[in-house]
């Protein structure tokens, strides 16, 4: 027997599979179809890392199994290739992003092929291909036509040193990622997408899909639906009112001041009344420079300024309360103004402490007796109102929970939950309140002042304003330029491409100028899974018939939910890519660009793999020198070892550190599988010919069926690690045998095939079996055989082991006794003895307590 040579075997089978084109998905097939999707990568210059591989291998295992189960499987791959690193590389080297992208994608593809991933390469897509981004632009035009794309002045993160707009992920702890300079805010006209219009549906429809609970929760939190009331506060001695949004209208009696966001427009309207307007203006200017991350940071001390000379009236008790401007209140959320209740809101509490403002408790925790508060505090301001406190002043904490109202006029004694409704209704009868729902989610800033992205297909005519490029003129191709650096004012480098910018107005044919902003990173990935269904279509983003074929709910589907059958990707994309693409899908579905039968969600099932850490459990990074290159693992141990190790290293959904020893252990397992070929009874000619004549090994037979069951179920439940260990146990058992039948070995190989496709293919051929191993029928188990397994019972006499017997696991006490007494060795030893007692420990032992007969 030759040694297991992974290098040779893997090359051979990768070539053969490719030549035979066996992973191509058919758009028409009698077989049931199944659409499996992994997030397509950004082809960086560094190449694949083992983290990418985890997602690819996991779903490749599923894809291979599905094919063996008789499905027509769509398992595609492509490139999300627009983005910053490529552009920054171009700025540094002057090498055009197209060239860099071409090189990087070729490298990624070569690496993926080396892993033996069963992608249908005929469907490869690239978001930077004009034939692809033509449709990304087309989608933008539809959004614009439906009023869901609009231009607005929005703040961006700006690095004053690099003179460049920064994406949020480029701001690290408030500083520019590249040069470390403090990032500031800058206002820019931006294209926006109205994702907020879909906020409610994006929450509601989560009920229909099969996502991990933590994914659903973080999407819901990101959208941030809040139900509450808008309360009107009159400004004293003026006809003006300030609406505030609150989820705790029950605490209204404890409101001791109002806070406006620095950008709140009412400040300008009451300007003349504000005695210290100069200082207020200064404060506003300062906070304008702060980026949002800094403003909402809990660590930073809250700052603000009082508007002197003005006050508001608390509508529940007509008490005068001061008005502040503070940048911990955001202009874009709720009404941009709040009623502050320092006793029951931590931010307000911190602020009140700092500015010496009264703290009035209005909620008593329900578990505290009304007359005996747990803490007394002399620190409480406003002693005329409060003598006792339920607050834990020592901890500097507000009580944010529910409870019973105190100090609240005629609502005192009411449960806070009830008071929300009662106080709200009472004020609404006076026209001072209304119910309101607000979402944290904001409209999506869809412009980047960059080069390497999809041009936004809009032109501005001096006479006619902003107009969409006519659909027949798509794609608006990204021009080749020489200087990739954004301009000094932070405009896109395209702003310097004069000849490209100059165009004709689609309406009046007069001179017009193109939009120079490009789309953000997430644009191309919004809809790519649709394109895979029909990647070469030049009339539509995809043929509805093909979309229907791949994505309409299967007839057997219980709830009738359609979409990609199974989508795996990183947890880090939960709130960006996953949410954005659900929004865009819903829009396309609404306008009829995708067939109605598919349903309103793009992905039926979503799973997430855990990230792979470096040795010792720290993040893999170049600087730590702990990056594992999959190609090196392949070179040393083979792709099958890489595959099986990545599946075996731990639960798929958990973070896990790379362990070189574990890799070697897996390699030894595969070597064992290779050696098993020596155990095969070569006389049994075909794999179907079971050697019935011979003694049938019940234990092995049962183990095989159990393994079929376990591997089948584990793969479905992403428990690849336990599937591998079940196969290891089976391999060990086979190794113990004098010989293994061809049939049993063939079952083992088919089960291992999705995990280690090359090795199993080679052994399949060596055994003389017909066809490809990876195209065999997925084995079925016999339920009878997995229920009853053989176990070994120890038979003792007076506590000494005298024999061992093979029995069925479920054997009864009486049966076990009978069987034991029938054994020759036992019979002999019990001659002339009387059995006094019989002890039976199921699955373990039998003990006869025997004494000599008198």
Kindly list the residues in this chain that would bind ligand ANZ in the complex (CB under 6 A): 226, 245-248, 251, 261, 329-330, 333-334, 336, 338-339, 341, 344-345
Residue indicated by tokens 């504000």: 274
- Residue 137 exposed, middle or buried by CB count within 10 Å (0-12, 13-18, 19+): buried
What distance in Å separates the CA atoms of residue 598 and residue 655, rounded to the nearest whole number? 34
CB under 5 to 8 A by kind: which of Zn ion, ligand ANZ, none does 505 bind?
A: Zn ion
Compute the least distance from the CB of residue 511 to Zn ion, in Å: 8
Which DSSP symbol is given to 188? E
What distance in Å separates the CA atoms of residue 382 and residue 388, rounded to the nearest whole number? 11
CB under 5 to 8 A by kind: which of ligand ANZ, Zn ion, none does 339 bind?
A: ligand ANZ
Compute the least distance from the CB of residue 144 to Zn ion, in Å: 16
Among 464, 481, 613, 850, binds Zn ion (CB under 5 A): 464
CB under 5 to 8 A by kind: which of ligand ANZ, Zn ion, none does 461 bind?
A: Zn ion
Among 507, 605, 664, 679, binds Zn ion (CB under 5 A): 507
What distance in Å separates the CA atoms of residue 617 and residue 613, rounded to the nearest whole number? 5
Query: 76, 124 in Cβ contact below 8 A?
Result: yes
Tokens of 426: 């009472």
Compute the least distance from the CB of residue 229 to ligand ANZ, in Å: 9
Query: 108, 41 in Cβ contact below 8 A?
Result: yes
Q: Which of 448, 465, 433, 459 is nearest to 231 (CA)?
A: 433
For Zn ion, the closer CB: 461 or 633: 461
Among 48, 461, 561, 711, binds Zn ion (CB under 5 A): 461
Compute the least distance from the CB of residue 250 to ligand ANZ, in Å: 8
- Helix (H) or strand (E) holding 807, with range, is strand 800-808
Query: 294, 174 in Cβ contact below 8 A?
Result: yes
Give me the residues paired with residue 848 across strands. 797, 838
For ligand ANZ, the closer CB: 44 or 335: 335
For ligand ANZ, the closer CB: 351 or 444: 351
Tokens of 370: 């009304």
What count of Cα atoms within 13 Å lies in the side-chain half-sphere of residue 759? 31
What distance in Å separates the CA atoms of residue 578 and residue 242, rounded to the nearest whole number? 37
CB under 5 to 8 A by kind: which of Zn ion, ligand ANZ, none does 246 bind?
A: ligand ANZ
- Can you say whether residue 88 is alpha, beta or left, with left for phi > 0 and alpha for psi between -120 and 50 degrees? alpha
Compute the least distance from the CB of residue 316 to ligand ANZ, in Å: 13
Residue indicated by tokens 């049993």: 744
Compute the least distance from the CB of residue 200 to ligand ANZ, in Å: 15
What distance in Å separates the CA atoms of residue 448 and residue 454, rounded to the nearest whole number? 10
What distance in Å separates the CA atoms of residue 812 and residue 844, rounded to the nearest whole number? 12
For ligand ANZ, the closer CB: 341 or 461: 341
Compute the least distance from the CB of residue 266 to ligand ANZ, in Å: 13
CB under 5 to 8 A by kind: which of ligand ANZ, Zn ion, none does 704 bind?
A: none
CB under 5 to 8 A by kind: which of ligand ANZ, Zn ion, none does 464 bind?
A: Zn ion
For ligand ANZ, the closer CB: 393 or 712: 393
What distance in Å separates the CA atoms of residue 648 and residue 732, rounded to the nearest whole number? 17
For ligand ANZ, the closer CB: 63 or 341: 341
CB under 5 to 8 A by kind: which of ligand ANZ, Zn ion, none does 463 bind?
A: Zn ion
Most distant CA pair in the chain, distance: 124
**DSSP codes, 348-412:** HHHHHHHTT------EE-TTS-TT--SB--S--S-TTT-S-B-S-GGGT----S--EE-S-GGGT
CA 819 to each of CA 367, 803, 810, 814, 822: distance values in angstroms, whole numbers, following the listed order: 65, 12, 14, 9, 5
Query: 195, 444 in Cβ contact below 8 A?
Result: yes
What distance in Å separates the CA atoms of residue 588 and residue 590, rounded to the nearest whole number? 5
CB under 5 to 8 A by kind: which of ligand ANZ, Zn ion, none does 226 bind?
A: ligand ANZ
Compute the least distance from the CB of residue 569 to Zn ion, in Å: 43
For ligand ANZ, the closer CB: 315 or 334: 334
Compute the least distance from the CB of residue 329 to ligand ANZ, in Å: 4
Compute the least distance from the CB of residue 338 to ligand ANZ, in Å: 5
Compute the least distance from the CB of residue 466 to Zn ion, in Å: 10
- Does 508 bind Zn ion (CB under 5 A)? Our answer is yes
For ligand ANZ, the closer CB: 392 or 635: 392
Binding segment toward Zn ion, per CB under 5 A, in 181-189, 342-350, 430-438, 463-471: 463-471
For ligand ANZ, the closer CB: 22 or 330: 330
CB under 5 to 8 A by kind: which of Zn ion, ligand ANZ, none does 507 bind?
A: Zn ion
Binding segment toward Zn ion, per CB under 5 A, in 65-73, 280-288, 498-506, 543-551: 498-506
For ligand ANZ, the closer CB: 67 or 344: 344
- Does 505 bind Zn ion (CB under 5 A)? Our answer is yes
CB under 5 to 8 A by kind: which of Zn ion, ligand ANZ, none does 245 bind?
A: ligand ANZ
CB under 5 to 8 A by kind: which of ligand ANZ, Zn ion, none does 45 bind?
A: none
Torsion of CA 573, 574, 576, 580, to 10 degrees: 120
Is the link from the previous residue into 475 a cis peptide, with omega within 30 of 0?
A: yes
Compute the least distance from the CB of residue 344 to ligand ANZ, in Å: 3
Compute the least distance from the CB of residue 583 to ligand ANZ, in Å: 21
What distance in Å separates the CA atoms of residue 59 and residue 50, rounded to the nearest whole number? 15
For ligand ANZ, the closer CB: 336 or 630: 336
For ligand ANZ, the closer CB: 409 or 799: 409
Compute the least distance from the CB of residue 510 to ligand ANZ, in Å: 43
Q: Which of 700, 557, 517, 733 is nearest to 35 (CA)?
A: 557
Q: Which of 108, 105, 126 is nearest to 48 (CA)?
A: 108
What distance in Å separates the CA atoms of residue 143 and residue 468, rounded to the nearest whole number? 11
Compute the least distance from the CB of residue 784 to ligand ANZ, in Å: 57
- Helix (H) or strand (E) holding 423, with range, is helix 416-429
CB under 5 to 8 A by kind: which of Zn ion, ligand ANZ, none does 247 bind?
A: ligand ANZ
For ligand ANZ, the closer CB: 149 or 329: 329
CB under 5 to 8 A by kind: which of Zn ion, ligand ANZ, none does 508 bind?
A: Zn ion
Binding segment toward Zn ion, per CB under 5 A, in 50-58, 289-297, 497-505, 602-610: 497-505
Distance separating the N- and C-terminal Cα atoms of the chain: 65
Query: 483, 442 in Cβ contact below 8 A?
Result: no
Q: 474: Cβ–Cβ under 8 A, 6 or more apart, which residues?
A: 134, 137, 138, 141, 457
For ligand ANZ, the closer CB: 251 or 750: 251
Compute the least distance from the CB of residue 251 to ligand ANZ, in Å: 4
Is beta strand 502-504 parallel, antiparallel or unpaired with respect to 465-468? unpaired
Give the per-residue contact string, 509-548, with Zn ion (x = CB under 5 A; - = no): -x--------------------------------------
For Zn ion, the closer CB: 514 or 742: 514
CB under 5 to 8 A by kind: which of Zn ion, ligand ANZ, none does 330 bind?
A: ligand ANZ
For ligand ANZ, the closer CB: 335 or 568: 335
Query: 767, 679 in Cβ contact below 8 A?
Result: no
For ligand ANZ, the closer CB: 264 or 829: 264
**DSSP codes, 441-480:** ---EE--BS-SSSPBP-EEEETTTEEEEPPGGG---PPPP
Q: Which residues bind Zn ion (CB under 5 A)?
A: 461, 463-464, 505, 507-508, 510
């Amino acid at each position: 027997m030759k040694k297991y040579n992974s290098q040779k075997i893997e090359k051979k089978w990768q070539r053969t599979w490719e030549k035979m084109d066996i992973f191509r998905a058919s758009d028409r097939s009698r077989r049931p179809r199944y659409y499996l999707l992994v997030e397509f990568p950004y082809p960086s210059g560094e190449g694949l890392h083992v983290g990418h591989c985890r997602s690819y291998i996991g779903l490749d295992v599923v894809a291979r199994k599905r094919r063996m189960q008789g499905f027509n499987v769509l398992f595609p791959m492509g490139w999300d290739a627009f983005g910053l690193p490529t552009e920054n590389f171009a700025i540094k080297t002057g090498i055009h992003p197209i060239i860099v992208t071409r090189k990087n994608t070729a490298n990624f593809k070569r690496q993926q092929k080396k892993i033996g991933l069963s992608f249908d390469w005929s469907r490869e897509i690239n978001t930077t291909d004009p034939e692809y981004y033509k449709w990304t632009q087309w989608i933008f035009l539809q959004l614009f036509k439906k009023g869901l794309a609009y231009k607005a002045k929005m703040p961006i993160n700006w690095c004053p040193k690099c003179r460049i707009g920064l994406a949020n992920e480029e701001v690290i702890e408030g500083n520019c990622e590249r040069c470390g300079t403090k990032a500031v805010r800058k206002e820019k006209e931006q294209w926006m997408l109205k994702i907020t219009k879909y906020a409610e549906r994006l929450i509601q429809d989560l009920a229909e899909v099969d996502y991990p609970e933590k994914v659903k929760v973080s999407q819901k939190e990101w959208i941030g639906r809040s139900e509450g009331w808008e309360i009107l506060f009159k400004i004293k001695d003026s006809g003006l009112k300030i609406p505030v949004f609150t989820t705790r209208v029950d605490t209204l009696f404890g409101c001791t001041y109002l806070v406006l966001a620095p950008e709140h427009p009412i400040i300008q309207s009451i300007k003349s009344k504000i005695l210290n307007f100069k200082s207020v203006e200064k404060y506003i200017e300062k906070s304008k420079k702060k980026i949002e991350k800094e403003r909402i940071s809990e660590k930073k001390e809250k700052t603000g300024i009082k508007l002197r000379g003005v006050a508001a009236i608390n509508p529940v008790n007509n008490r005068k309360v001061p008005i502040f401007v503070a940048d911990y209140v955001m202009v874009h959320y709720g009404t941009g103004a709040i009623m502050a209740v320092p006793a029951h809101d931590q931010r307000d509490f911190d602020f009140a402490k700092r500015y010496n403002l009264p703290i009035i408790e209005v909620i008593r925790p329900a578990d505290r007796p009304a007359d005996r508060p747990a803490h007394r505090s002399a620190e409480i301001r406003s002693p005329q109102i409060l003598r006792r406190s339920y607050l834990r002043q020592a901890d500097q904490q507000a009580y944010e929970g529910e409870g019973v109202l105190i100090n609240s006029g005629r609502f005192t004694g009411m449960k806070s939950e009830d008071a929300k409704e009662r106080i709200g209704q009472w004020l609404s009868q006076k026209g001072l309140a209304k119910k309101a729902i607000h979402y944290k989610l904001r409209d999506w800033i869809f412009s980047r002042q960059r080069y390497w992205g999809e041009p936004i297909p809009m032109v501005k005519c001096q006479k006619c304003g902003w107009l969409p490029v006519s659909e027949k003129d798509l794609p608006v191709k990204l021009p080749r330029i020489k200087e990739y650096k954004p301009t000094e004012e932070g405009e896109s480098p395209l702003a310097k491409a004069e000849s490209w910018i100059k165009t004709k107005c689609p309406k009046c044919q007069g001179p017009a100028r193109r939009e120079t902003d490009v789309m953000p990173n997430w644009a191309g990935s919004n809809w790519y899974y649709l394109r895979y269904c029909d990647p070469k279509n030049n009339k539509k983003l995809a043929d509805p018939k093909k979309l229907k074929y791949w994505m309409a709910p299967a007839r057997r589907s219980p709830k009738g939910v359609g979409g990609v059958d199974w989508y795996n990707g990183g947890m880090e994309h939960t709130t960006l890519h996953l949410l954005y693409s659900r929004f865009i899908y819903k829009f396309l579905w609404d306008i009829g660009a995708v067939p109605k039968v598919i349903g309103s969600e793009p992905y039926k099932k979503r799973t997430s793999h855990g990230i792979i850490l470096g040795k010792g459990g720290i993040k893999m990074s170049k600087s730590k020198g702990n990056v594992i290159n999959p190609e090196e693992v392949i070179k040393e141990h083979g792709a099958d070892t890489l595959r099986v190790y990545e599946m075996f290293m731990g639960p798929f959904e958990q973070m896990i550190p790379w362990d070189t020893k574990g890799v070697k252990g897996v390699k030894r397992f595969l070597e064992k599988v290779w050696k098993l070929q020596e155990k095969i009874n070569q006389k049994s000619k075909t794999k179907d010919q079971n050697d019935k004549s011979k003694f049938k090994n019940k234990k092995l037979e049962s183990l095989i069926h159990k393994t079929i069951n376990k591997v089948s179920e584990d793969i479905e439940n992403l428990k690849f690690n336990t599937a591998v260990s079940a196969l290891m146990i089976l391999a060990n058992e086979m190794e113990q045998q004098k010989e293994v039948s061809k049939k049993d070995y063939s079952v083992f190989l088919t089960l291992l095939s999705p995990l280690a496709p090359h090795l199993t293919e080679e052994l399949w051929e060596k055994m003389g079996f017909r066809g490809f191993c990876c195209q065999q029928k997925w084995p079925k188990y016999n339920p009878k055989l997995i229920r009853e397994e053989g176990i070994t019972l120890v038979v003792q006499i007076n506590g000494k082991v005298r024999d061992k017997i093979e029995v069925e696991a479920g054997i009864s006490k009486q049966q076990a006794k009978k069987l034991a007494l029938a054994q020759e060795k036992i019979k002999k030893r019990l001659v002339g003895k009387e059995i006094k007692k019989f002890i039976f420990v199921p699955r373990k032992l039998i003990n006869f307590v025997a004494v000599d007969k008198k």
